[in-house]
Every structure is written in structure tokens, then in C-alpha cells.
Amino acid sequence: MTLPDQLTLSRVLAVPVVATLFAWEFADHAYWATAVFSLAMATDQVDGWLARRRNQTSLFGALLDPIADKVLVLVALVMLVAEGVAPAWMVAAIVAREIVISGLRLAAIEQTVVIAARDLGKLKTWAQAVAVTVGGLAAGGAWDDEVAWWTLLVATILTWVSALDYGRVAPRLLRGTTATGPGDRSTPSDSAARRHGAV
């Protein structure tokens, strides 16, 4: 297993650690959970850079990378609901979007079309990561919960703007019409040859 793939796998392994640290009541537990989350998310930039620089892209990494990001972020958001920092309706809206777009991408794959990551998809992932970080620090008492509320609201809005963006290009892709704009379409062989970004 290459180093980029190991870094991707480390994000998956960080999921139960983050969840446990948020749930386990001890001094500054929210700070520890947030620190582990932030370090794990930072590997998302490093593994992609290493994979391209060393020409170590793999199908395993391409498939696991977006899944690792989603699972880590969503689990952390759910734990922030339990901490009383994140509104449940915002987290539910984010989870619903991820399910809908994942289903759309699976439908596209069945037609041998891979919908590549789009800029808005990458932006929403980092907005969610920032919201988790701000929320985790709020849970630890660094600042008022209202700061976390507004940060998560921005992430929720971007999440659904991103979903609408995918919805806009998906019909043309599924019909086999090349849509304009970056990241609108790629073939399965193309996607296996590079590491996917966030979706």
C-alpha cells in the first residue's frame, strides 16, 4: 500500500477515535476530538499531493478518498449534535445531500459515466470541516455556540448549492452530452488514473 493510500486509510481509522473522544467525558475532551479531526482532515490535502507528485494514484485511493472524507465529517457532525452545539436539522440536511448525490453518482457509474469532483463539491467539504472545527472548539468552551451555529449554516447552504450544481450537470452527463465547465465528466479509466477530490 502506497503512502497516499495509507494517509487516506488513516482518516477512516480516525473516525472511531473522534467519536470516542467526543463521547468520552473527561477534561478538554472536545478539544482533543477536534484536534484529531483537524489532523485527519489535513491528510486529505497531503495524500492527493503525494499521489500526483509520486505518480502513485490508485483505484483504491480514488474510491476510498471521498468516502473517508464524508464518513469522518458526518460522524463528527453527529457527535456535535450530541454535544448540543450543532442543530440536528442542519446535520440532517447535510446527511440527506450526501445520500442523494452518492446515489446520483452510483446511477452514473451504472451507465459507465463517472461524475468528477467539482469546485463547489470541494468547497463544501472544507466548509463542513471548518464548521466541525469551530463547533468542536465551541463544545470545549472556546467561544459561544452561536459562532458554531452560523458557521454550520454557511456549510449547510454551500452543501445544498453544491447539490444543485451536480443536479444541473447530471442530466447531460447521463445522456452522454458533455457539459461545459471544469470537472463535468470523466471516464472510468480517467478516474482510476487520478485521485478524486471531494464530492
* Domain architecture of the chain: domains with CATH: 3-192 (1.20.120.1760)
Mean pLDDT for 105-129 is: 77
- Which pTM was predicted? 0.80
160: pLDDT strictly greater than 50:
yes
Measure the CA–CA gap between 4 and 122, rounded to whole angstroms.
Answer: 18
Task: Identify the band that residue 180 occupies on the pLDDT scale cut at 50, 70 and 90.
Answer: very low
Is residue 79 within 8 Å of residue 110, measured between CB atoms? no
Residue 179's pLDDT band, with cuts at 50, 70 and 90, is very low
pLDDT band at 73 (very low <50, low <70, confident <90, very high): very high
> Half-sphere exposure of residue 191, counting CA atoms within 13 Å on the CB side?
22
What pLDDT score was predicted for residue 55?
Answer: 75
Question: pLDDT by residue (tens digit) across 3-25?
Answer: 877 888 889 999 999 999 999 99
CA separation for the pair 24, 108 (Å, rounded)? 41
Q: Which residues contact 43 (CB under 8 A, 6 or more apart)?
A: 7, 8, 10, 11
Assess contact for 159 and 127: CB atoms under 8 A.
yes
Q: How confident is the model at residue 174 (pLDDT cuts 50, 70, 90)?
A: low
